[in-house]
Amino acid sequence: MSVVKAWLVISESGQSSIEEIGKHSIMKRTGLPARDLRALDPLLSYPSSILGREGAIVVSLEHIRAIITAKEVFLINYNNPLVVQFVQDLQHRIVFGNNNITSPHQAMDHSGREMEDAAEEIEGEGSTINVSVAAGPKALPFEFKALEACLESACRCLESETRTLEEEAYPALDELTSKISTLNLERVRQIKSRLVALSGRVQKVRDELENLLDDDNDMAEMYLTEKVAAAPAVDQISIIEEVDDGESEADDESVYDPKAGDYSEINTNVDIEELEMLLEAYFAQIDGILQKLSGMSEYVDDTEDFINIMLDDKQNQLLQMGVILSATNMILNAGIAVVGFFGMNIHVCTV
């Protein structure tokens, strides 16, 4: 029997609700394998990752543990204060987007109507099918709104921690250079440990975004709304082809494979420019945070070098003083020996 967990579910209309969902149920609703769900467990330490799957996007970035589908977002650690802020931001994006741009369902209906018109023209002319599933008003898909909210929340968290560390690090380092003490050294040691840990987290997020930007196929997998919109349109065209006696069975039309999740021999190449621009914006932001941390790390190294130079100088002064004391002691001992020699009582024999 699968363990039932509480999930916060946010719909494409912005409504949120807490649902008790078992492991198998969430796998059925999202189409994800069990190994992807393990990456969302807050109790387990998994590296930052953004995984594009057939019917969902798995996001594991900092405090964000989410499953994004074309219609819903599932959050496992919704009690985290940072996640509460993320939920509010996502709901604001959804409501604002629905009030200003065409919804995904409207875009799908519009695309379906254009498919019907194209099919009627094909019946009359017998021409080759070349349909773009992305036709119609261009709207930011629901999954990209959710993904953008995840990236912004993660970047905001890392930026806040970096700013706090900067405010503590630079004064502590400056104080250490002016006064070397055990207390100041301990403060700098703790700051350096936090700096190394934070830099590692930021580097992982940066590497994940860089890997995504380098792989067009992974980015294409994340266009969930287009997959949902394309499925009924392609089925509609397939029905028309079966009715049309003049159409050849060997015609190079697309056949949708639910397992493979792609369309062959049809002009449905996903334009990933929209997602690429979104990822590049946050890649630049996370790279800027990493540059700040790198600059701070260099400042710590420079301070350590300065402290070592100061300590070496103090050591040289102590060695010099030791040499002077040794020389002085040797001179005093020589004088004492001379005085002692001439102060000896010499017995004089008298005749």
Place of tokens 């609703």: 29
As a whole number, the mean pLDDT across the chain is 79
Domains and CATH numbers, the chain: 81-305 (1.20.58.340)
Question: Which residue, 129, 77, 162, is CA-closest to 239?
Answer: 129
In terms of phi and psi (left: phi > 0; alpha: psi -120 to 50; beta: otherwise), the region of 126 is: left
What predicted TM-score, i.e. pTM, was given to this entire model? 0.72
In the DSSP assignment, the letter for residue 43 is T
Enumerate the β-bridge partners of residue 251. none
Q: What is the pLDDT of residues 70-96, one digit of tens each?
A: 999 999 888 888 899 999 999 998 887
Residue 85, φ and ψ in degrees, nearest 5: -65, -40
Residue 260 reports pLDDT greater than 60: no
Q: What is the pLDDT of residues 196-234, one digit of tens each?
A: 999 999 999 999 999 999 999 999 999 998 888 876 654
Q: What is the pLDDT of residues 36-46, one digit of tens each?
A: 888 888 777 78
pLDDT number for residue 233:
54
